[in-house]
Amino acid sequence: MTNMSTGVRVSAGTKAYLYLSLTLIAAIVLVPLLTTAIGGFKSLGDLRVNPFGLPAEWHPENYTDILFGDRYWRQMMNSLVIAVLTVFLTVTVSAMAAFTFAHVRFFGSNFLLNYFLIGLMFPAATAILPLFIRIRDLGLLNTYWGVVLPQVAFGLGMSILLLRNYFKNLPEELFQAALVDGCGYIRFFWYITLPLSRPIIATVSIISFVGSWNSYILPLIMLNSESIYPWPLGIMVYRGEFGTQWQLVLAFITLTILPTIIVFFLAQKHIIAGLTAGAVKS
Amino acid sequence: MTDISATSTIRSTAPSKAAIRRKGSTGRGRLPVLLLFLPPALLLFTLFVILPMGEAAWYSLYKWSGYGAPTDFVGLRNFQVLFNNTAFLTSLKNNALIVVVSIIVQIPLAIWLSTMLANKIAGVVLFRLIFFLPYVLAEVAAGLIWRFVYDGDYGLFASLAHLFGVETPYVLADKDLAIYAVLAVIVWKYFGFHMMLFIAGLQSLDKSVLEAAEIDGATGWQKFRYVTLPLLASTLRLSVFFAIVGSLQLFDLIMPLTGGGPFNSTQTMVTFLYNFGVTRMQVGLGSAVGVVLFVICVTLAFGYKRIFMRND
């Protein structure tokens, strides 16, 4: 905690202490992940006597069997379809609403905005049973929409707030100029607001994509046939089926979290900013 | 996780440029844009957020299996049953325990790491990435990985015990130990998120104050205790707030680890709702849990804003 802002050089002793502590914590984070990935290459007996080290004999077939089967790909596709629909719908619907709150003056505007902000106060779990009954009565059980629509609805409060704040801070002169030129609201929204708001649209998209990709409770309640399970549900079924054949379960876990890890390292700046700053700044 | 956070900011969005805006917003075509742009959001939100919440309050007064119409009115008996149910009481206690552990273990850890990472040394970015990684992973995957780690036959714990010649512990099957095992996973999963909050907080500090303290001869610890920490107060409150909110909706991580067992020792409010309300289709009882959760969330959101955000 010394020298945190001043550019003073860190002494060798402090440096050793820093690296030692940081490496220790990093090891606690990484060891479970690495043993999972490596464990997927082992045989069950090998795993039992030697969970930490490298495999005595590499068994890539644990992985390739999963990769050549259709189960893994089907689950990934399901997750992708649900996430893409969720992101698309969340961004479209909330950008339109946020635009009216930012640029159109109308009676009850503040009241309506606060109405949407109620959605920030409680998680979907509180209303999960009535939601189930509603989705069932609409005939949407066991469909993608049964998961997508509630996810979008519960994401609206946050997205509308983020987008509206951003829209409001766009330079006012743009709007004046456009109006003088005879540009209507809708054209203004499409040609000026949206292109200028790419950063915040990216933030909202990341938040809703990650939320949907990892979501478990809504699909668990709304879906009941394995053919449309997204991966968090599918992996639980897989684990139930293969029980204590941990080497297969570990390979499956590794393959399912691999996309997340790759994307995270490629786009880390945006993802960290989206998930933390997005939550705080709003 | 991000849900409730923004309530604190409703106030901060007060229109500063309202006066200028008034002129600009009387453009033509106001009605069509309202009729086109607002209804989709309103419809979705009302149908899938507001109405279900209202229905939860209504259903909580009935004994109902979810089929046909609810007719068996039981008044507040569901709530009575709930607060006499030992599993539910355990879940309340666990939710509180998670918040406590978060405050006394996770947040100090996050502050410690964030101050270390504020040093200009090589590899800072990499460490930051590694620490944030568990937060990005899905709860279900993290839960399954730790289920393996804790496994008494194959896991890392088994071989550690072997190494030290101790009898293999079956941590997740022990009703006294399981909750602590779960708590450790929670810290592992979320400390990186809190660390990022503190890193952001540290970056926004006014550096001249620290320099002034240094000139006055303050030691590293004194600078931290009397300058940095007080200046981080608002980040600290935010962090506590997220810890509480996270605890209240914790579900995905528990299911692959213990499913709420053994003997309901690791239930949280939401796993209780699932295990007792959803799987047994006791709509009344489950809705009552939802109502309790809702009341806690709303009280928290308003209370927190009132008490803590006053000075920000």
Q: How do the domains of chain A map onto residue ranges?
A: 12-59, 70-281
Contact check, Cβ <8 Å, B133/A103: no
CATH of the domain at B118: 1.10.3720.10
What does the alpha-carbon distance between residue A185 and residue A103 come to, in Å, rounded to a whole number? 9
Structure tokens at B227: 């300058």
Q: How many CB pairs below 8 Å do chains A and B form together?
A: 362
Instruction: State pLDDT tens for residues A153-163.
Output: 999 999 999 99
CB B237, CB B305: distance < 8 Å:
no
Residues of A in contact with B109 (CB under 8 A): 25
Instruction: State pLDDT tens for residues B69-97.
Output: 888 888 889 999 999 999 999 999 999 99
On whether any CB of chain A is under 8 Å from the CB of B295, the answer is no
CB < 8 Å from B in window 36-75 of A: 36, 39, 44, 47-52
On whether any CB of chain A is under 8 Å from the CB of B309, the answer is no
Contact check, Cβ <8 Å, A128/B59: no
- B184 falls within a domain: yes
Q: Which one of B6, B26, B278 has the shortest CB-CB distance to A158?
A: B6
pLDDT at A237: 92
Residues of A in contact with B29 (CB under 8 A): 184-186
Q: Which one of B24, B30, B41 has the shortest CB-CB distance to A94?
A: B41
What does the alpha-carbon distance between residue A43 and residue A57 come to, in Å, rounded to a whole number? 8
**Res. B141 pLDDT band, cuts 50 70 90:** very high
More confident residue, B195 or A171: B195
On whether any CB of chain B is under 8 Å from the CB of A214, the answer is yes
pLDDT at A278: 56
**Core vs surface per residue A175-191: b (16+ CB within 10 A) or e:** beebbeeebebeebbee
On whether any CB of chain B is under 8 Å from the CB of A200, the answer is no
In sequence order, the 6+-apart residues with CB closer than 8 A to the CB of B267 are: B87, B88, B90, B91, B94, B254, B260, B275
Indicate if the pLDDT at residue B170 is higher than 50.
yes
pLDDT at B121: 83
- B125 falls within a domain: yes
Indicate if the pLDDT at residue A96 is higher than 80.
yes
More confident residue, A46 or B87: B87
On whether any CB of chain A is under 8 Å from the CB of B104, the answer is no
Q: How far is A89 from chain B (nearest CA, A)?
A: 10
Reported ipTM: 0.89
Give how far Cα A85 sits from Cα of A92, B91, B272, Å.
Answer: 11, 35, 30
- B282 falls within a domain: no
Residues of A in contact with B32 (CB under 8 A): 185-186
Indicate if the pLDDT at residue B310 is higher than 50.
yes
On whether any CB of chain A is under 8 Å from the CB of B170, the answer is no
Residues of B in contact with A3 (CB under 8 A): 119-120
Give how far Cα B180 sits from Cα of A44, B166, B184, B272, Å.
Answer: 28, 19, 6, 18
Contact check, Cβ <8 Å, B2/A278: yes
Summary mean pLDDT of chain A: 88
- B210 falls within a domain: yes
- B92 falls within a domain: no
Q: How many domains does chain B have?
A: 1
**Apex CA B297: angle with CA B292 and CA B302, to 5°?**
130
Indicate if the pLDDT at residue B103 is higher than 80.
yes
Task: Provide the domain limits for residue B127.
Answer: 100-257+304-311
pLDDT at B206: 79
More confident residue, A41 or A172: A41
Indicate if the pLDDT at residue B162 is higher than 70.
yes
Q: How far is B120 from chain A (nearest CA, A)?
A: 8
pLDDT at A37: 93
Indicate if the pLDDT at residue B29 is higher than 80.
no
CB < 8 Å from B in window 105-164 of A: 105-106, 112, 114-123, 125-134, 149-150, 152-154, 156-158, 160-162, 164
Question: Can you tell me whether residue B73 is helix, strand or coil?
Answer: strand
On whether any CB of chain B is under 8 Å from the CB of A240, the answer is no
Of the listed ranges A3-17, A192-206, B92-106, the one predicted with least confidence? A3-17
In sequence order, the 6+-apart residues with CB closer than 8 A to the CB of B215 are: none
What does the alpha-carbon distance between residue A15 and residue A225 come to, in Å, rounded to a whole number? 55
Indicate if the pLDDT at residue A109 is higher than 50.
yes
- B82 falls within a domain: no
pLDDT at B24: 44
Residues of B in contact with A118 (CB under 8 A): 49-50
**CATH fold for domain A70-281:** MetI-like fold (1.10.3720)
**Res. A55 pLDDT band, cuts 50 70 90:** confident
What mean pLDDT is predicted for residues B220-236? Answer: 86
pLDDT at B230: 87
Of the listed ranges A208-222, B22-36, B67-81, the one predicted with least confidence? B22-36
What mean pLDDT is predicted for residues A229-254? Answer: 91
Indicate if the pLDDT at residue B18 is higher than 50.
no
Give how far Cα A117 sits from Cα of A65, A113, A180, B6, Å.
Answer: 47, 6, 34, 8
CB < 8 Å from A in window 20-49 of B: 20-30, 32-34, 36-38, 40-42, 44-45, 47-49
pLDDT at A277: 59
**Res. A270 pLDDT band, cuts 50 70 90:** confident
What does the alpha-carbon distance between residue B54 and residue B59 come to, in Å, rounded to a whole number? 9
- Search chain B and give the residue with CA nearest A172: B21
Residue A139 burial (C-beta neighbours within 10 Å; 0-12, 13-18, 19+): exposed
What mean pLDDT is predicted for residues B102-128? Answer: 90
Contact check, Cβ <8 Å, A104/B202: no
- Search chain B and give the residue with CA nearest A175: B24
Structure tokens at A185: 């609201």
Q: How far is A26 from chain B (nearest CA, A)?
A: 6
Residues of B in contact with A129 (CB under 8 A): 56, 59, 66, 273, 277-278, 283, 286-287, 290
Of the listed ranges B13-17, B84-88, B140-144, the one predicted with least confidence? B13-17
On whether any CB of chain B is under 8 Å from the CB of A175, the answer is yes
**Res. A15 pLDDT band, cuts 50 70 90:** confident
Contact check, Cβ <8 Å, B154/A207: no
- B207 falls within a domain: yes
On whether any CB of chain A is under 8 Å from the CB of B7, the answer is yes
Q: Which one of A114, A125, A131 has the shortest CB-CB distance to B10?
A: A114
DSSP tag of A8: P
Closest C-alpha among A40, A36, A2, A88 to residue A247: A40
* pTM, to two decimals: 0.87
Indicate if the pLDDT at residue B8 is higher than 50.
no
What mean pLDDT is predicted for residues B125-143? Answer: 93
What does the alpha-carbon distance between residue A35 and residue B67 come to, in Å, rounded to a whole number? 47
B267-B269-B270-B274 Cα dihedral, nearest 10 degrees: 70
For residue A122, which phi and psi values (nearest 5 degrees)?
A: -140, 150
- B50 falls within a domain: no
Residue A105 burial (C-beta neighbours within 10 Å; 0-12, 13-18, 19+): middle
More confident residue, B141 or A275: B141
Q: How far is A67 from chain B (nearest CA, A)?
A: 18
Q: How far is B176 from chain A (nearest CA, A)?
A: 23
